[in-house]
Amino acid sequence: MRLQGKTILVTAAGQGIGRACALAMAREGATVWATDLKQELLNAYAGVPNIKTHLLDVLKTAEVDTFAKKIGNIDVLFNCAGFVHQGDIMQVSDADWDFSMDLNVKSMYRTIRAFLPGMLEQGKGSVINMASAASNIKGAPNRVIYGASKAAVIGLTRALAADYVARGVRFNAICPGTIESPSLGERIQAVSSQTGKSVSEVRDMFVARQPIGRIGKPEEIAQLAVYLASDESSFTTGTSQIIDGGWSL
Ligand SMILES: NC(=O)c1ccc[n+]([C@@H]2O[C@H](COP(=O)([O-])OP(=O)(O)OC[C@H]3O[C@@H](n4cnc5c(N)ncnc54)[C@H](O)[C@@H]3O)[C@@H](O)[C@H]2O)c1
């Protein structure tokens, strides 16, 4: 019951890391607003204790603001939404660039502006932003937009931490390596189609780049998210927590 009494909003909680984090936070006693773009994914939360669901497209400022007014103050905001664009700079279109920056970075600007005033009113809050080890931490091939966007998340997190450190609101970024998720399955499938290698060969390539010898589990990220959401991390702000099986060593 490490999060008992806290109200937490998780974006992109429909699947993958977001879902594992929402479930772990609810198990620790928080009231969790699990939000996502896709209703069918939210339906899978039916009957899960401590979880409320709501459709929320973090690309839409008005939707975020309306939702903030509806639910009122929260204690923890976990910005998990993000998209992995694959390709080098010559394969990127303006539209690809704008979409990834909007979803991976500007969405956080939207949600933080909507929920920070309530946290400041309470004199307390924790904001967790999903970055990646593929950022300023590690240059990963074919991740030019993704790496730039996730480095921006880390910069955003540190700047916000500096602005609000004396007012009780903490900001930290999570920087995973490769983690099992539906979108990882899609990326493996896409690389397999592009290269002609079998799906299992491509999966083995993803595993081979992990010094720890395996891909991470969403539940392992959830343990870190629970810690950053809880008062156990009350002296921790402005950090980029690397959790990548040694990928960036
Ligand atoms: N899986 C990995 O290997 C990995 C590694 C490092 C960082 N991350 C980051 O973790 C986060 C989650 O990734 P994942 O792979 O676990 O999940 P995923 O990509 O499989 O799922 C993403 C979820 O986001 C939702 N979504 C998409 N657009 C949205 C929008 N506009 N508004 C609200 N929700 C939206 C989707 O419906 C889906 O449920 C992302 O920010 C990703 O960049 C993932």
**143-197: per-residue pLDDT in tens?**
999 999 999 999 999 999 999 999 999 999 999 999 999 999 999 999 999 999 9
Give percent above pLDDT 90 in the chain: 99
222 and 200 co-located in one domain: no
Identify the pLDDT of residue 182: 95
102 and 221 co-located in one domain: yes
Identify the pLDDT of residue 44: 98
Give the mean model confidence (pLDDT) for residues 4-19.
98
154 and 103 co-located in one domain: yes
Q: Is 58 contained in some domain? A: yes
DSSP 15: S
Give the mean model confidence (pLDDT) for residues 135-141.
97
127 and 189 co-located in one domain: no
Q: Which atom of ligand 1 is nearest to the CA of 130?
A: 41
Domain assignment of residue 111, given as a range: 7-179+216-243
Residue 94 confidence class, pLDDT cut points 50, 70, 90: very high
| Residue 121, CA distances (Å) to 113, 124, 144, 202 in order | 13, 8, 39, 49
Give percent above pLDDT 70 in the chain: 100
Identify the pLDDT of residue 159: 99
List of residues 6+ apart from 50 with CB closer than 8 A = 26, 27, 29, 30, 31, 32
Q: Which atom of ligand 1 is nearest to the CA of 133?
A: 6
Binding pocket residue ranges, ligand 1, CB within 6 Å: 11-12, 14-18, 36-38, 41, 56-59, 80-82, 84, 103, 130, 132, 176, 178-179, 181-184
Asked whether the beta carbons of 169 and 125 are under 8 A apart, the reply is yes
211 and 154 co-located in one domain: no
18 and 44 co-located in one domain: yes
Q: Which atom of ligand 1 is nearest to the CA of 38?
A: 37
Q: Is 1 contained in some domain? A: no
Q: Quick: pLDDT tens for 24-79.
A: 999 999 999 999 999 999 999 999 999 999 999 999 999 999 999 999 999 999 99
Mean pLDDT of the chain: 97
- Name the amino acid, one letter, at 180: E
- Catalytic amino acids? 146
Q: Is 126 contained in some domain? A: yes
User: What is residue 110's three-state secondary structure?
Assistant: helix
161 and 202 co-located in one domain: no
Identify the pLDDT of residue 126: 99
Number of compact structural domains in the chain: 2
Following DSSP, what letter does each residue of 199-241 receive, concatenated?
HHHHHHHHHHT-TTSS-B-HHHHHHHHHHHHSGGGTT--S-EE
Q: Give the distance (Å) from ligand 1 centre to CA of residue 12.
A: 6
Give the mean model confidence (pLDDT) for residues 108-118.
98
Q: Quick: pLDDT tens for 99-109.
A: 999 999 999 99
210 and 221 co-located in one domain: no
Rounded to an integer, what distance in angstroms lies between the CA atom of residue 32 and that of residue 2? 13
List of residues 6+ apart from 93 with CB closer than 8 A = none
Identify the pLDDT of residue 245: 96
| Residue 141, CA distances (Å) to 90, 154, 209 in order | 13, 19, 12
